[in-house]
Structure 1
Amino acid sequence: MNSSKTLLLQIVIFSIFFSSGSISNPTLASADSSEEFVDCLSKESKIPSWLVHTTSSSSYTSILKSSIRNPKFLNTTASAEPVCIVTPSETSHIQAAVVCGRRHGLRVRVRSGGHDYEGLSYRAEDRGERFAVVDLSGMRSVSVDAASGTAWVQSGATLGELYHAVWRHDPRLGFQAGVCPTVGVGGHFSGGGFGMLQRKYGLAVDHVVNATLVDARGDLLDRDSMGEDLFWAIRGGGGESFGIVVSWHIKLAPVPPIVTVFDIVRSPDHGAIDILTKWQEIAPKLPDDIMVRVIIEPQNVNFEAMYLGTCDELLPLMHLRFPDLAMNRTDCNEMTWIESIPYIHLGRNATVDDILNRTSISRVNTKNRSDYVRDPIPNHIWKKIFAMSQQVTKFGEFQMYMDPYGGKISSIHESATPFPHREGVLYNIQYITYWQGEANGTEALKWSRDLYEFMEPYVSKNPREAYVNYRDLELGRNKLVDGISSYDSGKAWGKRYFRDNFERLAKVKAKVDPDDYFRNEQSIPPLLN
């Protein structure tokens, strides 16, 4: 991986190469400026033509749709689509996209895995906006140093590719990130990144020790050259606000030779609501070697868990601490940690190599929202929630994913990274509403809003918190003032994602990108004097 000296040399060379053109403050791009941007990439930057896909290219549509995970965004006429997609194969291509974009008044958006819940990494809400996309899917190398227990991973890699590479080098090592193997590393880390190891080891960004980033001038920086404020901001401050993170240096985590996974399903008619009510207080207080999350559907409650040890060790623990779940030996599924990744997400017949499959798209449209719970929700409220969920079958499906906190994720101070949802959180909720047919899903979205409104008295307050990686435009959108995203309008959603860290993020933004080159509908606005 590049040393600071090598990075400095690249910066100097790149700056000299583009010194013939000034970097202007981008405005709304015209068709001519879009053509000039493409010419700049090919003629001055020498980016190979097969890495630049314009709307007239035969490859454009397939590249654009290649990592759109939500079918409702496949209808590209409903919003602005990019005038060009750059698929870089090396860092200098990313730098060129930024420098050429600034020179010719064309902003860039960036995507890695495409799991952006509002699709803002590849589309714009304003039909008149013109922009390019830097698609990092071709930059996905993973370099593991098992001796030091670290790895460098490029932002275009998926979590599955990261886990697989670590396992190949040393099966005693793993990493604390999400359960979905097709999620891109770049977006996942940018928002925090949690999963089945969060109670033992915390977030993905709690273990990022360095990064390389292309900033708003096209310069390539590492932790030393970007400074601690910017390094703090990119580890949880959300993607597409401060620059393009090319790669991440992460500290890996030890995993035991055997983990135990169980999946216990209970129906409301068989005590599910009573067990769920008790789970709220039990799960965050269990030893941090076990994670018991909950998946709620209209007919069932699924208690899904992973324990860092054997079934013989787990059974007495569960009988003592969570007897109402009535777990028994037949519920145990012992396996290696790497086998638990496909097992949990893809099912018991999936293989380790299946997590390398990058092609994943939902068959139905989805709307995702989130909450944090700091006080247990009463039993009678859970009964009402289940009663409401029965309405979903009229138009689609519904799930609530709930991940318990406690352990490492809660012991780190909320100002240590931009991700603030730490001490005092019992669990987070992700609401997912599914429907088929029309993309706007009028009935499904109304039900989703009604449930979200119903939950308000029972979740976190002042602010009502949300997770930035479960991006939700119904929390608010940026408004422009003199061509710059307004800090005051950003507070509507920013305080929910980042609490008191939002102001610090906006100050970092003002320092490193004061003219707001990297922006979308929910990017960090600069807090200017």
Structure 2
Amino acid sequence: MATENQPDAKPDFDQLAEDLLAKNVPIKRSVDQDWLKYAQTFNARLQYEPALIVVPNKVLHVQEAVVLAAKYGTKVQVKSGGHSYASFSTGGIDGIMVIDMQEMREICVNHVTGVFRVSPGVRLGELDSTLYNLGRPVGYGSRAIAHGTHRTGLAMDHIIALDVVLADGRHLAQVSRTRNPELFWVSTSLERRALRGAADSIGVVTQFYLQSKEAPDTILNFRFAFTGIINNVNDAVKTFKHVQAFAQDPEIVDRDLGLSVFINGDALIISGIYMGPHDTFFNVILPALYNDQCLPEADIVNIKTQTWAEYSGIPEDDATPIITQKDREQQSNFFAKSVTVSKPIPDAALVKYFRFLQGQAKKASVGWYVIVNLHGGPDSQINTRSSSFAAFGSYDALWVFQHFASVGVTEKFPEEGFELLEGMNSALTQELDEYAAELVYVDPTLSRDEAHELYYGAELYQRLQGCKRWYDPLNLFDHPHSIRG
């Protein structure tokens, strides 16, 4: 009997490969010497084996692949950067067709409008460097799903149009507020929302069009490290409460501040960037944040001025970084979970959380860390959006917690690692009335229904289901957490 993620009958991949080659569509099979270059996953813990990999270098190749996949009854997933935490870009299961977009790597800039067009095979380093060297530095994180800055919002908020190949092979150019309205179902905004955040369930994006934002010439990068603070639960709770109160003070915090808390072992690090006037940082923000009445003395205090290029890791010689095969073969062996909260975390939850970190977490044999990113607070441009704008369920988040555990690439990931992160999530959420999870830090241990509830919420998911039924009724684009019609 077929499982939920497997077709009823095994597709004839040999014949499918022949048909693709007959149409001059580049493909890779497991017998090819460079197979691993395309099949290897970023997360070594979750290695899946595609039946066939298409490596298009033009839109027509994508269209031919999608049409033939539907004809032969195979599921399809798209691989761009390939950094899915759950290896969903390699299918999340064995035996499907993967469309690897790494050969489609074009970047074009309109210097009049500031709109740039980028193909899905472009890596972030390439994009940042190219735009910077063309005089259009992007003032937000360039991940097209759910990263960005307090100042500008998420990167995907600035996607103004997309080119997409649908499940029937049609290629829609510049799907936007105004283009292709006759092909939209219900409203032009529903499909645009679906593609911004749930595109892997709807079609194959072949071009992104984004509006650039002016980046600051310089930023202030700050870091305060407190060693041993996790050993004392009261001190850890007091520290986080101070940071949380600071982050919500409208007299101090505005969109120009980015803030994170990093926890590893017995250390807690408060770090961030400030893009506003330097005088404001030193006279207002710094005294309020690094307050000796609320914080212990830091072991490390580091404040430095950086150019945007330095902050973004752009080479000083203006050279666009060359993405080598070694870069693409880098792996990590890990498991991650996340929690997003839209309200201040109460004392009871913080006490349970830091007790867990001080106790069970410190005894763990696996490596682990916690990153807590400030998404909300006064003047946050992330919070100005909602799920009516894009298929993203955490626009209202105040804090985003990422829990991460790892071992050596060649080691077997132990059960202890799963239990550790489950414990972290549980300790944090037991005292919370409501919480969600971050789609970027996808957790493959969640069921499909659990993932949809945590990542999208019931109302948004219902709307996405309608879009899926209209554009992909046969569920061609599928992985273990994808939208089902």
Relative to the length of structure 1, the TM-score reads 0.78
Q: Which amino acid aligns with 2:146?
A: G
Residue matched to 1:71 = 44
1:335 aligned to which of 297, 306, 309: 306
Q: Which residue of 1 aligns with 2:222?
A: 262
Extract unaligned runs of 5+ from structure 1.
1-25, 179-187, 344-348, 478-489
1:221 paired residue among 169, 172, 197: 172
User: Structure 1 residues 364 and 212, CA, compared in 2 at 3 Å: closer, same or farther?
Assistant: closer
Aligned-partner SS, 2:445: helix
Does the 8 A contact of 2:352 with 2:427 survive in 1? no
- Please tell me whether residue 416 in structure 1 is matched to residue 383 in structure 2: no
Q: Which amino acid aligns with 2:390?
A: T
CA distance in 1, matches of 2:401, 2:464: 24
Q: Is the 8 A contact 1:310 1:334 kept in 2?
A: no
Residue 3 of structure 2 aligns with which residue?
A: none
2:139 and 2:60 map into 1 onto residues whose CA distance is 29
- What pairs up with 1:478-493 in 2 under 5 angstroms? 490=449, 492-493=450-451
Partners of 2:333 and 2:83 in 1: how far apart? 13
Change over 3 Å in CA distance of 1:109–1:321 after alignment to 2: same
Matching residue of 2:403: 431
The answer on 1:524 being equivalent to 2:483 is yes
Out of 77, 82, 91, the position equivalent to 1:109 is 77
- Quick check: 1:376 aligned with 2:345? yes
Deviation of 1:147 after TM superposition, in Å, equals 2.3
Q: Which amino acid aligns with 1:200?
A: R
Q: Deviations over 1:210-232 (max 9, x none)?
A: 00000001110131225322222
Q: Quick one: distance in 1 between partners of 2:328 and 2:71?
A: 36
**Contact kept in structure 2, 1:240 and 1:523, CA below 8 Å:** yes
Structure 2 CA distance, aligned partners of 1:352 and 1:299? Answer: 40
Query: 1:292 pairs with 249, 259, 269, which one?
Result: 259
Show CA shifts across 1:180-222 (max 9, x none).
xxxxxxxx52xx3213x2x111111211110000000111013
- The equivalent residue for 1:474 is 445
Structure 1 pair 123–320 and aligned structure 2 pair: CA distance change class (3 A): same
1:305-316 paired onto structure 2 within 5 Å? 305-309=272-276, 311-316=278-283
What SS does structure 2 have at the residue aligned with 1:495? helix
1:498 and 2:468 aligned:
no
Is residue 19 of structure 2 the alignment partner of residue 40 of structure 1? yes
Instruction: Give the deviation of 1:360 after TM superposition.
Output: 5.9
The correspondence for 1:169, drawn from 134, 149, 162, is 134
Tell me: CA distance 1:123–1:322, structure 2 relative to 1, closer, same or farther (3 Å). Answer: same
Distance in 1, matches of 2:19 and 2:429, equals: 50
Query: Would you say 1:235 and 2:188 are equivalent positions?
Result: no
Q: Could you list the per-position Cα deviations for residues 494-526 of structure 1 after superposition, in whole angstroms to 9, with x for gaps in the alignment? A: 121011211101111011111111111110010
Closer/same/farther in 2, CA of residues 137 and 100 from structure 1, 3 Å limit = same
Relative to 1, partners in 2 of residues 1:174 and 1:328: Cα closer, same or farther, differing over 3 Å?
A: farther
Which amino acid counterpart does residue 165 of structure 2 have in structure 1?
Answer: V
What corresponds to 2:37 in structure 1?
62
2:335 aligns to what? 367
For residue 241 of structure 1, what is the amino acid of its counterpart? S
Q: What code does the residue aligned with 1:412 have?
A: R
| Change in 2 beyond 3 A, CA 1:46/1:355 | closer
> How many Å apart are 1:376 and its aligned residue?
1.8
Change (3 A) 1:455 1:429: same
Structure 2: how far apart are the matches of 1:36 and 1:247? 30
- Show the 5 A alignment for 1:505-516: 505-516=464-475
Compute the displacement of 1:323 (Å).
3.8
- Please give the secondary structure, in 1, of the residue aligned with 2:86: coil
Number of equivalences: 449
**Comparing 376-385 and 515-524, the one that deviates more:** 376-385
Alpha-carbon separation, structure 1, partners of 2:480 and 2:433:
24
Cα deviations by residue, 1:230-255 (Å, 9 ceiling, x for unpaired):
22201012x42000011110011111
Question: Deviation string for 1:37-86 (max 9, x for gaps)?
Answer: 1111111x222xxx311122222123212xx222223xx4xx5x111111
Structure having the larger proportion of residues in helix: 1
Q: Identify which range, 430-439 or 133-142, moves more after superposition.
A: 430-439
Q: Tell me: CA distance 1:449–1:252, structure 2 relative to 1, closer, same or farther (3 Å).
A: same
Identify if the C-alpha distance between structure 1 residues 363 and 300 changes in structure 2 by more than 3 Å, giving closer, same or farther: farther
Greater shift in the superposed pair: 321-330 or 91-100: 321-330
Identity of aligned residues (%): 20
Q: 1:448 aligns with which of 421, 441, 447?
A: 421
Partner deviation per Cα, 1:397-420 (whole Å, 9 max, x = no partner): 111111112211112233221113
Output the amino acid matched with 1:122. Answer: T
- Describe the superposition over 1:91-139 as per-residue Cα deviations: whole angstroms up to 9, x where unpaired: 11111110111122222211111111111211444x5xx3111101111
Read off the aligned partner of 2:112 and give its amino acid letter.
A
Change (3 A) 1:330 1:398: closer
Q: Note the C-alpha offset of 1:356.
A: 5.2
Q: Deviation at 1:350?
A: 9.6
Partners of 2:419 and 2:124 lie apart in 1 by 33
Distance 1:206 1:215, change over 3 A: same
Query: Counterpart of 1:193 in 2: which secondary structure?
Result: coil
Structure possessing the higher relative contact order (Cα contacts under 8 Å, 6 or more residues apart): 2
Q: Distance in 2 between matches of 1:70 and 1:287?
A: 36
Q: Per the alignment, in what secondary structure is the counterpart of residue 453 of structure 2?
A: helix
TM-score by length of 2: 0.85
Name the SS for the 1:409 alignment partner.
coil
Q: Which amino acid in structure 1 is aligned with residue 455 of structure 2?
A: Y
Give the corresponding residue for 1:317: 284
Q: 2:353 touches 2:427 (CA, 8 Å); kept in 1?
A: no
